[in-house]
Every structure is written in C-alpha cells, then in structure tokens.
Amino acid sequence: MPQKKSLLRSVGTLTHRVSFVSKGVNTDAFKTYQAEFSEAIRRVKKVEDQLRDANSKNKALESVMSTQQNNAKANQLEQKSKIESLERMVVQKEEKYQRDFNSANLEKTRLQSIVRLQEAQARETKSRLDQFSQVKQEADRLTTQIDTLCRDRDEMQKKIDNMDKECQMQRQRAIKSEVSVVQIHKDQALRPLEEAISECQYHMNNLKRILQGEENANLTVILKDWERCREENKQKMETIKSQFDSQIQELQSGRLILTDLPVIPRPEPSRSKTLKAKHAPHNWPHLEHPHPSWFNHRCTTLSPAASRWWVSSSTPEASG
C-alpha cells in the first residue's frame, strides 16, 4: 500500500509538469528537459501499467479474499452446525447412557431378585431331595413287598390255571357224558320208529309181490295205508332227530346243562288201520317200550342228575 501511494504522487507531479509545459510557459527550458520528460512519460506509462496490473491483482486478491471469506463463513457455519449436531449427539448419548444406566440398575435389581429366588429354590430343592430320599426308601421297601406279592400271585395264578384246566377237562367230560345220555335217549326214541318203518317196508314188499300177478282192490288199499304209515313214521323220526340234535348243540355250546333240558315226548309209531292184530303174521315184531329195568341198568354208569333225567324221560309213563 505505501508503494502504491508513492507511485500516485510521482504520477501526479509529472502530470503537473506536462500540463505546465503545454501552456507555452518557458518552452526553451522544456526542450532542455524534453528527453527527461519523455523518459518520465515512459516511466509514467510504465507505472500506470504497473498500477493497472496492481489494481487487477488487487481485485483478484480481493475476489480471492472474498471467496475465502465466504468459504470461511460457510466453513464456520458448517462447523457451527457440526458442533450443534455433536452437542445434540452428546445430549442423546448422555440420555442413552442414563437410560442404559437405569436399565442396568433395573437388571441388577432383577438379577438380585433372581439370585434370591434361586437360593430359595435351592433350599426347597434340597428339602425335596431329602423327602425324595425318604420316599425312595419307602418305595424300595414297598417294591420288595410287591415283588413278594407278585411271586405269591404268580404261584396262585398257576394253581388257578391248573384248576381251570382241570375244571375245563371235567366240564368237557361232563358235556360228553351228557351228550352221550341225550344220544342214547335219541337212539332209544328212534328205534321204535325205525322198527315201524322196517315193518311197513316189509309189508309193502310182500303186498307188491302179491299184486304183481293179480289186481286186488283191498290189497291196494292196504298197501297205500302202509305207505302212509311209513311216511308218517319218517316225519316223526325227522322231528325227533331235530329236537335231540338241538339239545345236543345246547349241551356242547355250554348254554344249558342236562337237568335244564326239557323232556322230549316219544311219539307212538303209526300203524296200519286196515290190518288187525289177529290177522298179523306170527313173525311180525310186537313194538313196545323196553322194560324200565333196562334203563336203570344204563343209568348206573351216569351221574345222579343224568340218571334222574334219563329215567324221567325214558320210561313209558313219562313219555305218555
């Protein structure tokens, strides 16, 4: 800045001299100093050029300084904003640290409560373990007793199984005996009908041989009557068989016993009404029930209940 002021003073002095010479005052002297004046003008121009350069540089410097000043202000504002942001961040961090501290205190309190609870649970667990030890000892004692009882039970079960097997065998033998009784009674009930059917067939064969050589209305009627008797006896046999077979099935299934069975009445064999007994050949069998002594003899091999049932159902009086 001082150099700039001195240059301005020099330029002002030279300008004053030039203006003084141009007015025509003492022109002779001007010629004496013309070379110096030309040099001065050249120097003035040079100074003006330097001044212009200095002004342009000054303006450039001012522009740079203004830019730097603006940048500095912007940086200052940015730094201020950063500082404010950091201050807010610090406040937030402090608040966060305070919250974390409070949470840590709460967690510490909770952990202390958990520790106290665990200590109480440990004491309770120890007490329960002691009780469990006592219960285990009692359970071991009871287990020993149970094992003893189980062995006794197994022995009793074996005895019961053996008794069941024996009972089943006795039951099967009893069922077989009862079935044998019913089968014998069935055979005795069917025998008169079988004999009657044989008798009918015998007379039918004789009558058919007689009728081969001649026709006789009376003999034809007698033949048809014997055929009727045979069919009736067959139907009675089927009925008797069905009734006795049903009783045998009841006995074999175990639903009934011999004393529970109803007495099956014996049907009388059907005989021809056209042939009188006095006209019957001497070799025709006379059908009647066996003597009761025969039944008493068969009942000696049966049980008392079976014997009573046999006698009550086999005697002619019981059969009607």
For 160-207, write each residue's pLDDT tens digit: 999 988 888 888 888 889 899 989 998 998 999 999 999 999 999 988
Distance CA 308, CA 263 (A): 11
Contact 238, 197 (CB under 8 A): no
pLDDT at 233: 92
Domain ranges of the chain: 2-67, 171-319
Q: Is the pLDDT of residue 235 over 90?
A: yes
Higher pLDDT pick, 71 / 7 = 71
pLDDT at 197: 92
Which has the closest alpha carbon to 245: 167, 161, 305, 186?
A: 186
Indicate whether this model's pTM tops 0.75: no
pLDDT in tens, 140-166: 999 998 999 999 999 999 889 999 888
